[in-house]
């Protein structure tokens, strides 16, 4: 697209850098700036928006931290590919600090993952089952390796999203999975959690093999409920009791 002075619109000099960033974000949301688009040079863009270069520079740095803009040394500023996994990356820090926010994440997981498992039970193929069984095998053999287990855990839930064959829900799931890393790392430290999750996953996969929609739904609900219970124990400050008991 051709970028002109009127494309970005002028911003009053008194406006803060976050409002400059908000204007650029709005253009991305409205698809007036698309993944991979290069922004005009700093001097030119500042003139287009009627703002100072330092204010613009600060706004672009903020957008860069959000993974909306990529600043390439010597090349300029570009809109990123807007990959959901990258866009939510910094939110893991928020989840790591706020237990209530982690627990609220389970509202989203309950809605999205239970819907996905129902679709997956109707659409699963023999090849899908092979991939699920392979994942379970790797998870079982990595129960004592937290990082390997977390990777297998994430992969299983994303496999289910792919099996459901709904691209929109899969994108939601991809974002939720990245946000869930903080909670997974915390619960994975509790002795027995990896083994319990593996057993839960086994029941989920067995229901998918049977193409049992009701059974798959119930297995997923129980699995998410088990994990949420562990998180509530941690949030209430009883993790030591849970580990010792």
CATH number for the domain whose boundaries are 87-244: 1.20.120.530
In angstroms, the CA 142 to CA 137 distance is 9
Q: Which CATH class is domain 5-82?
A: mainly alpha
From 105, 123, 200, select the one nearest 156 (Cα to Cα).
Answer: 200
Res 90: pLDDT: 61
Res 1: pLDDT: 62
Res 65: pLDDT: 85
Each domain of the chain, given as residue ranges in start order, spans: 5-82, 87-244
Res 244: pLDDT: 29
In angstroms, the CA 113 to CA 28 distance is 28
CB 43 within 8 A of CB 53: yes
pLDDT averaged over 10-residue windows placed end to end, the chain, 245 residues? 66 67 91 94 94 92 90 94 69 57 79 95 98 95 84 93 92 76 72 87 98 98 89 63 35
Q: What are phi and psi of 71, to 5 degrees?
A: -95, 115
Res 84: pLDDT: 65
Taking CA atoms, 110 is separated from 51, 122, 228, in Å, by 45, 19, 10
Alpha helices in the chain (DSSP H): 5-8, 17-29, 42-49, 53-65, 84-87, 91-97, 99-123, 126-141, 146-164, 167-179, 181-188, 193-209, 213-235, 239-244
Res 35: pLDDT: 93
Res 76: pLDDT: 94
Q: What is the pTM of this model?
A: 0.63
């Amino acid at each position: 697209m051709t970028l002109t002075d009127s494309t970005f619109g002028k911003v009053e000099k008194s406006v803060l850098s976050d409002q400059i960033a908000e204007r650029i974000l709005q253009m991305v949301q409205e698809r007036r700036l698309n993944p991979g688009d290069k922004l005009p040079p700093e001097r030119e863009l500042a003139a287009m928006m009627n703002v100072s270069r330092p204010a613009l520079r600060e706004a672009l740095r903020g957008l860069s931290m959000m993974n909306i803009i990529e600043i390439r040394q010597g090349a300029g500023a570009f809109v990123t590919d807007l990959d959901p996994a990258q866009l939510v990356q910094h939110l893991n820090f928020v989840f790591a600090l706020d237990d209530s926010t982690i627990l609220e994440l389970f509202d989203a997981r309950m809605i999205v993952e239970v819907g996905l498992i129902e679709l997956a039970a109707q659409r699963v193929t023999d090849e899908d089952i092979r991939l699920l069984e392979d994942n379970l095998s790797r998870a079982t053999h990595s129960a004592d390796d937290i990082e390997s287990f977390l990777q297998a855990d994430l992969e299983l839930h994303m496999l289910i999203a792919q099996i459901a064959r709904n691209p929109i829900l899969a994108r939601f799931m991809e974002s939720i999975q990245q946000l869930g890393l903080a909670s997974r790392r915390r619960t994975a430290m509790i002795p027995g959690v990896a083994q319990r999750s593996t057993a839960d996953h086994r029941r989920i996969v067995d229901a998918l093999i049977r193409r049992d929609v009701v059974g798959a739904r119930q297995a997923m609900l129980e699995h998410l409920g088990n994990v949420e219970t562990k998180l509530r124990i941690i949030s209430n400050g009883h993790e030591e009791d849970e580990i010792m008991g």
